[in-house]
Amino acid sequence: MSASAESRPGSPSDTAIVTDSTPYLPDRLIERWRIHQVSLYVGWEGDLRPERDYTDLDAFYAQLHESASLPTTSQPSAGDFLACFEPLVSAGRDVLSIHLASGLSGTCESAREAARLLAEAGQPGRVEVLDSQTGAGGLGCLVLVAAEAAEQGASVDAIIDLVREARESLDIWFCLDTLEYLRRGGRIGAAQAMVGTALKLKPILTFGTEIAPVGRVRTRERAFERMVAYLRELQERGATDWIVQHAQAPADAERLVEQGKAIFGFDPLFCTQVGPVLGAHLGAGMLVGGMTRPTPAPLQAS
């Protein structure tokens, strides 16, 4: 984000930006950019709760580690999205709703159903739903790009073009202690090929339309070294922003932030912990992302 990211917000723009609960953005950025969120659900034995209700992440991850069964996760309903969208479009605002990759969740489909119902009802505002084709901090980066463009007065179509352009230059890697949670949860995607050979290794993966393998190493320290090398590669490729996320690995995240600051010369866009929905499928691990933001023609002349 630009230096204006920490400036005081002005009046709400004509376009509202909505996302789900899985970018795990810090509250300061959610509030600064007036981002609306619709929560996914997670829980054990049918006790599904909105992800935002899990305020004690240590307790959640402890239960995840100790439980013989994995928690169930679920996308928001169309009704959940209607409750978010309707006040916005009734006020005449347009909405751009950007979500977790459709290959990983049905969240986009629920949002599209809500948008269809509002259009049929003749609401004055327009709702567009965009599949981010990524997750976690990668989704968060794209949401922030959209929110900044919306504040500058860009149209929905211009913001969509900008987010798609930003997605082309976005990478997000993450390392896990094991593929077991992904395998048991059925979200393993192309990383399935690593099962059997990598369950005792430390897989390096990437978020896209599905979770895909990048590599594997034998120890957690070696995985950390790969993350540092990845940040250095991003910097050499001209990345203008970088992030760190983790799941129950605050010491590793802090070490990675310090290494990244030495590489980039500035702080990460954010450093946060991954919450219960993605944590249920990833287990304990560390996520890293970086992006190069293009300058959109509608906002600034070349």
Q: Based on the fold, state whether residues 239 and 152 are members of the same structural domain.
A: no
Residues 86-106 have pLDDT tens digits of: 999 999 999 999 999 998 899
Q: Based on the fold, state whether residues 110 and 35 are members of the same structural domain.
A: yes
User: With 60 as the cut, is the pLDDT of residue 199 above it?
Assistant: no
**Across 11-15, 227-231, 254-258, least confident range:** 11-15
Mean pLDDT, all residues of the chain: 86
pTM beyond 0.85: the answer is: yes
Q: Based on the fold, state whether residues 140 and 211 are members of the same structural domain.
A: no
Map residue 6 onto helix, strand or coil.
helix
Q: Based on the fold, state whether residues 20 and 135 are members of the same structural domain.
A: yes
Q: Domain boundary at 139, 167, 195, which?
A: 167
Question: What CATH number does the domain containing 133 carry?
Answer: 3.40.50.10170
C-alpha 199 chain-centroid distance: 25
User: With 70 as the cut, is the pLDDT of residue 33 above it?
Assistant: yes
Query: Half-sphere exposure of 17 toward its Cβ, with a 13 Å CA cutoff?
Result: 31
Question: What CATH number does the domain containing 274 carry?
Answer: 3.30.1180.10
Q: Domain boundary at 116, 147, 167, which?
A: 167
Number of domains in the chain: 2
User: Which range of residues forms the domain containing residue 125?
Assistant: 12-40+75-167
Q: Domain boundary at 115, 143, 167, which?
A: 167
Decide: residue 200, CB within 10 A, 0-12 exposed, 13-18 middle, 19+ buried: exposed
Terminal Cα-to-Cα distance of the chain (whole angstroms): 18
